């Protein structure tokens, strides 16, 4: 740490750096320690992510990606398809504007799956290590461009603090704590290595260094397309920081251009390149309902929000979808402030460009890398996202650290005050980063946090409602289930109040109305509206609609929808079983039995299918012997199911097998002595046998149970 007084055993202050540095500080020990501090800061701050599971977009690249789950066998297809192909199928390029071609991180996930299977802790650990290594490369690059000598202590240099700020900044949690964010990390890591190699080459003129540049840059592009901005960053760094000659520019530009051309060819071959096509869905086209002036005013507003988050990352969210940031106008004071700030920054860069100031480079680095996600030149599908400034934040960290050190150099701030300020900022950032990582434990924990920070996002509210609904299906605690469904209903209502034509939210509303409110007509209306809005095939939605129709005594309509769903996605158990239910409601016994038997073939160890077949033979076809056979099969699978046992006792009683009926009824009471239908069966059975005493005994016991209610 920088101290006010200096001795041969103390690190010099910023002011003392204007003079000769004590010889004892020419040692590399403190410089190495600086690297270790940055590295360990990144490791320790993200260590708690190792206990997290998969979340949000991890499904696209890992848990729901068929190519990743083929392990190394899937690598060829990963390299030759859109990034979302493994999850979304053939239409992946069309479903996301412009498509995505970033195979390198997905290849790494496939290799992990081949070795370890589904182990989120390992994936998180690799992310953390890659991020820590990226911080070290960043520090090494800053040392290179700053011209820092070995004699200058690391802790008294802006490069160290810029790197530490980057390592601890909370805005990076979305990239590091979300496993899918590895594409961002690898993209930046290889881009920095390419940049470092290019700068190093101007000094060493070594062929192996020159060869490394296109290799690293190609790997960067394969990780994330945004790395293409380094085509401008690398010559910019040459201009600002190197003695590069014309031949150096030509060699490096060629070394960068060739992998770029190869990448663009591959991308055009395997992913859509149509950046100008606009989606008709506002969640994929944030400016769909905006006028031209509203569009650019809102874009400017998002830019000042990014700067605010970089300076004060207090409230973080992974979700800035419609309508978390409403459309703005140029009369909005925040928009005007953003316009003035960015024009002033642009003017400063214009005035100082030829002076080759470090601050100018930092600002240009920020805006060049930010340009592809700024929405200014083309829409990126969402107004803003914290991960979008992962790379750009390097420029911010350089500018912040350098400006603070300049205050000391100009005697406007003491070295001690600078120490305290930097330690304070890094400490606050670290606390926020570490605590934010806990939110990324699962989808449910993340949405529970972010629905508070993005309360006006239709997507955040809808997604959280959907997660609560899914979780409610997993619990047997009726009170907990009711609380979850109540909260789900509240949030899906909020989502639809923000965006009434939100197809996904309407589907979730249908689920909640069906399961929680038992409002079958309301559920049907929600499902049907969802289908009208989103005409893409959705067999699960069609099946859910049919289930509500069955409960609403619309078996004929349900049958038609279920046949359609089965045609879209054959052999789904829920669809097949529901088809059997619909035919049963229509008293079409043969068809009902046929579909129940198909459901049994899909889940042969589920007793319910056998029981339903038994019910048809017993209640509709009056074939009691066949009914008993199917009931026995159901009971073999679920021997303590009281409903199955009750029907078996009744069927045997109706068939004249009174002793069997009595035996089964007694077995029911051994499981549950208060099961009233068993006493009724025993009373009736003993009456048939002419044993009035026994019959009266069981009748009395039944009456005692009923009286205690």
Domain residue limits, the chain: 292-430, 605-709
CA separation for the pair 477, 194 (Å, rounded): 56
Q: What is the mean pLDDT of residues 559-569?
A: 92
Cis amide bond preceding 323, omega within 30:
yes
Enter the tokens of residue 698. Answer: 């069981």
Q: Which of 678, 674, 698 is nearest to 687 (CA)?
A: 698
Q: Is the dihedral of CA 140, 145, 150, 155 positive or negative?
A: negative
* Mean predicted confidence (pLDDT) in 534-542: 83
How does residue 26 score in pLDDT terms, banded at 50, 70 and 90? Answer: very low
Measuring CA to CA, how many Å separate 69 from each of 13, 72, 74, 243? Answer: 55, 9, 8, 49
Q: Residue 30's pLDDT is what?
A: 64
Report the distance separating Cα 534 and Cα 503, nearest Å: 6
On whether the CB atoms of residues 68 and 74 are closer than 8 A, the answer is yes
pLDDT in the model for residue 54: 96
- Alpha helix ranges (H) inside 410-538: 415-439, 443-453, 458-472, 478-498, 503-512, 520-533
- In angstroms, rounded to a whole number, what is the distance separating the alpha carbons of residues 330 and 337? 10
How confident is residue 8, by pLDDT bands cut at 50, 70 and 90?
A: very low
Phi, psi dihedral angles at 33 (to 5 degrees): -60, -35
Closest CA to 15 of 156, 183, 166: 156
User: How far apart, in whole angstroms, are the C-alpha atoms of residue 139 and residue 34?
Assistant: 9
Q: Dig out the tokens for 10 from the structure.
A: 């103390």
Q: Nearest CA to 679 among 700, 655, 660, 693?
A: 700
The angle at the Cα of 452, spanning 512 to 393, to the nearest 5 degrees, equals 130
* C-alpha radius of gyration, the chain, whole number: 33
For all residues of the chain together, what is the average pLDDT?
A: 91
Pick 605-709's CATH classification: 2.160.10.10, 1.25.40.10, 3.30.1330.60, 3.30.565.10: 1.25.40.10
- The CA-based angle 28-191-106, given to 5 degrees, is 115
| 191 band by pLDDT with thresholds 50, 70 and 90 | very high
- For 28-57, b/e burial (b = at least 16 CB within 10 A) is eeebeebbebbbebbbebbebbeebbbbbb
Cβ neighbours, 10 Å, residue 598: 17
E strands, 202-280, are none
Residues 282-303 have a mean pLDDT of 94
pLDDT confidence tier of residue 281, bands split at 50, 70 and 90: confident
Q: If you count them, how many residues does the chain have?
A: 709
Token pair of 177 as six digits: 């704590």
Segment 470-512, tens digit of pLDDT: 999 999 899 999 999 999 999 999 999 999 999 999 999 999 9
Question: Would you say the C-alpha torsion 375, 102, 262, 195 has a positive or negative sign?
Answer: positive
Closest CA to 665 of 702, 615, 692: 702
For residue 307, give the nearest of 286, 283, 329, 337 by alpha carbon: 337
CA-to-CA distance for 535 and 542, rounded, in angstroms? 11
Q: For residue 92, give both structure tokens.
A: 């992946």
- Alpha carbon distances (Å) from 258 to 100, 217, 219, 222, 469: 20, 10, 13, 14, 51
Look up residue 311 and give its two tokens: 């300076």
Cβ 423 vs Cβ 158: under 8 Å: no
Higher pLDDT, 7 or 308: 308
Task: Quickly tell me which residue has 């066949």 as its tokens.
Answer: 626
> Does position 371 have pLDDT exceeding 60, yes or no?
yes
- In this prediction, residues 360-378 reach a mean pLDDT of 95
The whole-number pLDDT of residue 415 equals: 87
- Residue 461 confidence class, pLDDT cut points 50, 70, 90: very high
Cβ atoms of 651 and 618 closer than 8 Å: yes
pLDDT for position 49: 97
Report the pLDDT averaged over residues 164-192: 97
Q: In this predicted structure, what is the pLDDT of residue 171? A: 97
Name the pLDDT band for 98 (thresholds 50, 70, 90): low
Reported confidence tier of residue 244, pLDDT bands at 50, 70, 90: confident
pLDDT score of 638 more than 50: yes
Q: Which helix (H) or strand (E) holds 16?
A: none
H/E stretch holding 590 reads helix 589-602
Chain centroid to Cα 368, Å, comes to 27
- Model pLDDT for residues 332-362, shown as the tens digit of each residue: 999 999 999 999 999 999 999 999 999 999 9
pTM over 0.75: yes
| Closest residue by Cα to residue 352 from 241, 240, 243 | 240
What pLDDT does residue 709 have? 62
What does the pLDDT read at residue 411? 87
Tell me the pLDDT tens digit for each residue of 546-555. 999 999 999 9
Position 28 pLDDT exceeds 70: no
Q: Are the beta carbons of 194 and 216 closer than 8 angstroms?
A: yes
- What phi and psi values does residue 448 have, to the nearest 5 degrees? -60, -35
Place of tokens 């920081």: 241
């Amino acid at each position: 740490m920088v101290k006010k007084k200096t001795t041969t055993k103390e690190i010099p202050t910023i002011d003392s750096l204007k003079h000769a540095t004590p010889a004892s500080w020419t040692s590399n020990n403190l410089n190495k320690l600086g690297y270790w501090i940055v590295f360990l800061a990144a490791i320790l701050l993200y260590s708690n992510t190792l206990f997290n599971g998969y979340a949000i977009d991890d499904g696209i690249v890992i848990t729901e990606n068929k190519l990743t789950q083929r392990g190394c066998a899937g690598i060829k297809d990963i390299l030759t398809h859109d990034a979302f192909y493994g999850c979304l199928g053939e239409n992946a390029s069309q479903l996301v504007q412009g498509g995505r071609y970033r195979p390198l991180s997905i290849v790494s996930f496939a290799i992990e799956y081949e070795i370890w299977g589904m182990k989120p802790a390992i994936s998180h650990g690799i992310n953390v290590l890659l991020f820590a290594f990226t911080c070290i490369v960043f520090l090494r690059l800053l040392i290179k461009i700053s011209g820092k000598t070995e004699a200058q202590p690391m802790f008294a240099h802006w490069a160290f603090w810029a790197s530490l700020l980057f390592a601890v900044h909370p805005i990076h949690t979305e990239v590091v704590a979300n496993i899918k964010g590895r594409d961002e990390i690898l993209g930046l890591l290889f881009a920095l290595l390419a940049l470092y190699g290019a700068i190093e080459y101007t000094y060493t003129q070594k062929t192996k260094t020159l060869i490394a540049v296109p290799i690293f840059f190609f790997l960067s592009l394969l990780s994330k397309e945004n790395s293409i901005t380094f085509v401008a960053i690398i010559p910019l760094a040459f201009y600002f920081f190197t003695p590069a000659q014309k031949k150096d520019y030509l060699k490096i530009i060629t070394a960068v251009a060739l992998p770029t051309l190869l990448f663009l060819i591959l991308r055009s071959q395997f992913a859509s390149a149509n950046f100008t096509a606009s989606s008709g869905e506002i969640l994929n086209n944030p400016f769909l309902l905006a006028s031209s002036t509203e569009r650019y005013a809102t874009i400017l507003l998002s830019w000042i929000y990014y700067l605010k988050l970089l300076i004060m990352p207090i409230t973080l969210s992974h979700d800035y979808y419609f309508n978390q940031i409403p459309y703005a106008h140029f009369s909005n004071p925040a928009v005007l402030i953003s316009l003035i700030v960015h024009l002033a920054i642009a003017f400063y860069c214009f005035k100082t460009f030829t002076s080759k100031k470090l601050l100018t480079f930092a600002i240009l680095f920020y805006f060049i890398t930010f340009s592809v996600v700024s929405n200014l030149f083309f829409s990126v599908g969402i107004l803003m996202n914290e991960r979008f400034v992962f790379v750009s934040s390097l420029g911010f960290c350089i500018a912040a650290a350098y400006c603070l050190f300049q205050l000391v150099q100009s005697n406007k701030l003491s070295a001690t005050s600078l120490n305290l300020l930097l330690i304070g900022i890094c400490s606050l950032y670290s606390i926020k980063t570490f605590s934010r990582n806990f939110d990324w434990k699962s989808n449910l924990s993340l949405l529970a946090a972010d629905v508070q920070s993005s309360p006006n996002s239709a997507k955040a509210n809808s997604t959280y409602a959907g997660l609560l609904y899914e979780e409610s299906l997993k619990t047997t605690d009726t009170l907990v289930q009711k609380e979850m469904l109540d909260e789900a209903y509240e949030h899906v209502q909020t989502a639809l109040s923000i965006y009434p034509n939100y197809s996904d939210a309407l589907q979730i509303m249908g689920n909640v109305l069906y399961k929680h409110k038992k409002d079958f007509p309301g559920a049907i209306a929600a499902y049907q509206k969802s289908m009208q809005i989103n005409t893409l095939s959705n067999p699960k939605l069609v099946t859910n609609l049919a289930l509500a129709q069955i409960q609403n005594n619309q078996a004929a309509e349900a049958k038609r929808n279920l046949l359609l769903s089965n045609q879209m996605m054959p052999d789904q158990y829920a669809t097949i079983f529901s088809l059997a239910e619909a035919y049963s409601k229509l008293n079409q016994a043969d068809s009902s039995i046929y579909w129940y038997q198909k459901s049994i073939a899909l889940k042969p160890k589920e007793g319910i299918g056998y029981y339903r077949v038994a019910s048809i033979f017993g209640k509709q076809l009056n074939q009691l012997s066949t009914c008993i056979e199917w009931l026995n099969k159901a009971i073999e699978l679920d021997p303590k199911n009281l409903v199955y046992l009750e029907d078996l006792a009744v069927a045997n009683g109706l068939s004249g097998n009174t002793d069997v009926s009595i035996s089964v009824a007694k077995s029911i009471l051994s499981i549950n002595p208060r099961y009233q239908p068993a006493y009724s069966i025993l009373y009736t059975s003993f009456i048939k046998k002419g044993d009035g005493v026994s019959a009266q005994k069981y009748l009395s016991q039944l009456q005692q149970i009923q009286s205690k209610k």
